[in-house]
């Protein structure tokens, strides 16, 4: 089914199971208050340093495997309070000082150069900032020119952003770059009720409009899709993930990342304790990946971070993990792993 043919679920999980007493708020403002009320402490961060960086390989649109540098920028938390988000743990409460973002990029590039023997072969970079790159309180607009200057050697740059903030600044930043700009947008799910309750405060029409601005102005589009977010019955999770992948591709996404929804941010743990959320299984991720990759409409990548938590069998997990990594690299659907222990 294509994403434009979305229908509501007939077996929607109720907000208040009789045996828990937990009532998830109805209004966005009340939800935001409830979500932040479940949080622990943020990590202590230095505004002059990115909170992490990593090197990884990713399959390119021509089928080759290319190296990517991902820099996780330290900046002010975004204004949205999404139910499933754990990125707030690595954000600040205030806007960073002038020049801090460019300085963070310099630091990461310097670290890579020292630890990896140079930057000559590194042509692609992701600037992920635990929020929205075009949020002026997170990434001050005055830094755009300095940031673009530091990206001049790269062939491609990816930034992430909430669909509501894709606009003039996005186009202006594209014009500053001498390379291809790709914008990553969180679609999350096309399940209408679940999307609303995630508190992202975006509709499918708004996502489609943001995607259109990106794709019709010479930029590439990447989408993030959740596998088994709360308020979708587990038996329907793969189907809704498949519909969401289809929708992202209908909107022009050349890459869709499948992200298994996790506990660990406070709010999701509270829902799980109340019986309103369970994490997806490794088998569900395999099913969704087999579908997405098998459609061959665009690249579909599985988020493999902390993957073992979704597995119930230690015997076959290494093989199944390797199979998913192989799918990411080849965009093919290998035979499924058979296991005598868990079948």
Tens digit of each residue's pLDDT (9 = 90 or more) over 37-79: 999 999 999 999 999 999 999 999 999 999 999 999 999 999 9
Q: What is the mean pLDDT of residues 320-341?
A: 96
- Two tokens at 221? 């589009």
Q: What is the mean pLDDT of residues 90-108?
A: 97
- For residues 125 and 157, is the Cβ–Cβ distance under 8 A? yes
**Would you place residue 10 in the very low, low, confident or very high pLDDT band (cuts 50, 70, 90)?**
very low
**Would you place residue 118 in the very low, low, confident or very high pLDDT band (cuts 50, 70, 90)?**
confident
| Backbone CA torsion sign across 241, 285, 226, 290 | negative
- At residue 142, the pLDDT reads 97
- Two tokens at 161? 């952003």
- For residues 189 and 226, is the Cβ–Cβ distance under 8 A? yes
Three-class DSSP labels, the chain: CCHHHCCCCCCCCCCCCCCCCCCCCCCHHHHHHHHHHCCCCCCCCCCCCCCEEEEEEEECCCCCEEEEEEEECCCECCCCCCCCCCHHHHCECCCCCCCHHHHHHHHHHHHHHHHHCCCCCCCEEEEECCCCCCCCCCCCHHHHHHHHHHCCCCCEEEEEECHHHCCHHHHHHHHHCCCEEEEEEEEECCCHHHHHHCCCCCCHHHHHHHHHHHHCCCCEEEEEEEECCCCCCHHHHHHHHHHHHHHHHHCCCCEEEEEECCCCCCHHHHHHHCCCCCCCCHHHHHHHHHHHHHHCCCEEEECCCCHHHHCCCCCCHHHHHHHHHHHHHHCCCCCCCCCCCCC
**Would you place residue 117 in the very low, low, confident or very high pLDDT band (cuts 50, 70, 90)?**
confident
* Prediction pTM value: 0.92
- At residue 20, the pLDDT reads 57
Cα(154)–Cα(120) distance, integer angstroms: 10
The CA dihedral of 138, 141, 145, 149, to the nearest 10 degrees, is 10
191 Cβ contact list (under 8 Å, min separation 6): 6, 8, 9, 229, 231, 232, 240, 243, 244
Percent of the chain clearing pLDDT 70 (strictly above): 94
- For residues 230 and 194, is the Cβ–Cβ distance under 8 A? yes
Which of 244, 175, 170, 275 lies closest to 9, judged by CA?
Answer: 244
Q: What is the mean pLDDT of residues 298-309?
A: 97
- At residue 119, the pLDDT reads 87
- At residue 343, the pLDDT reads 72
Residue 96 above 70 pLDDT?
yes
- At residue 120, the pLDDT reads 84
- For residues 301 and 255, is the Cβ–Cβ distance under 8 A? yes
**Would you place residue 8 in the very low, low, confident or very high pLDDT band (cuts 50, 70, 90)?**
very low
Residue 293 above 60 pLDDT?
yes
- At residue 3, the pLDDT reads 31
Render pLDDT for 150-184 as a digit per residue (tens, 0 to 9): 999 999 999 999 999 999 999 999 999 999 999 99
Q: What is the mean pLDDT of residues 231-242?
A: 98
Residue 101 above 80 pLDDT?
yes
Q: Among the listed ranges 14-18, 46-50, 138-142, which one has the minimum average pLDDT value?
A: 14-18
Mean pLDDT of the residues in the chain:
93
Residue 100 above 90 pLDDT?
yes
Q: What is the mean pLDDT of residues 110-136?
A: 93
Residue 18 above 50 pLDDT?
no
Percent of the chain clearing pLDDT 90 (strictly above): 91
Q: Among the listed ranges 119-128, 196-205, 246-255, 282-291, which one has the minimum average pLDDT value?
A: 119-128
CATH topology of domain 35-330: TIM Barrel (3.20.20)
Residue 295 above 80 pLDDT?
yes
Domain ranges of the chain: 35-330
Q: Among the listed ranges 109-118, 130-139, 256-265, 275-284, which one has the minimum average pLDDT value?
A: 109-118
Cα(243)–Cα(240) distance, integer angstroms: 5
Q: Map tokens 């208050």 to a residue.
A: 33
């Amino acid at each position: 089914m294509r994403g434009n043919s979305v229908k509501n679920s007939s077996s929607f999980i109720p907000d208040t199971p009789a045996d828990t007493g937990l009532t998830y708020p109805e209004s966005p403002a009340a939800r935001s208050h409830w979500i932040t009320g479940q949080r622990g402490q943020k990590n202590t961060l230095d505004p002059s340093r990115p909170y992490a960086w990593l090197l990884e390989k990713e399959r390119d649109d021509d089928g080759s495997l290319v190296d990517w540098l991902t820099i996780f920028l330290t900046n002010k938390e975004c204004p949205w309070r999404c139910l499933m988000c754990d990125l707030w743990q690595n954000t600040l409460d205030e806007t960073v000082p002038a020049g801090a973002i460019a300085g963070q990029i310099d630091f990461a590039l310097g670290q890579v150069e020292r630890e990896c023997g140079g930057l000559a072969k590194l042509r692609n970079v992701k600037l992920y900032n635990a929020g929205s790159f075009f949020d002026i309180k997170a990434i001050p607009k005055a830094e755009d020119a300095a940031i673009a200057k530091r990206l001049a050697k790269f062939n491609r740059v990816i930034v992430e952003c909430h669909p509501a903030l894709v606009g003039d600044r996005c186009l202006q930043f594209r014009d500053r770059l001498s390379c291809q700009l790709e914008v990553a947008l969180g679609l999350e799910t096309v399940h209408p009720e679940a999307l609303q309750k995630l508190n992202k405060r975006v509709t499918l029409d708004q996502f489609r409009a943001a995607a259109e601005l990106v794709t019709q102005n010479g930029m590439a589009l990447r989408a993030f899709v959740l596998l088994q977010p709360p308020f979708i019955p587990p038996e329907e999770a793969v189907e809704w993930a498949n519909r969401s992948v289809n929708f992202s591709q209908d909107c022009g996404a050349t890459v869709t990342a499948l992200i298994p929804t996790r506990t660990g941010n406070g709010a999701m743990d509270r829902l799980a304790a109340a019986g309103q959320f369970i994490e997806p299984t490794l088998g569900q991720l395999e099913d969704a990946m087999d579908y997405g990759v098998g459609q061959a409409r665009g690249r579909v990548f599985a988020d493999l971070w902390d993957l073992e938590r979704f597995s119930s069998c230690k015997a076959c997990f290494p093989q199944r993990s390797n199979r998913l990594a192989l799918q990411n690299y080849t965009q093919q659907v290998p035979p499924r792993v058979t296991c005598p222990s868990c079948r």
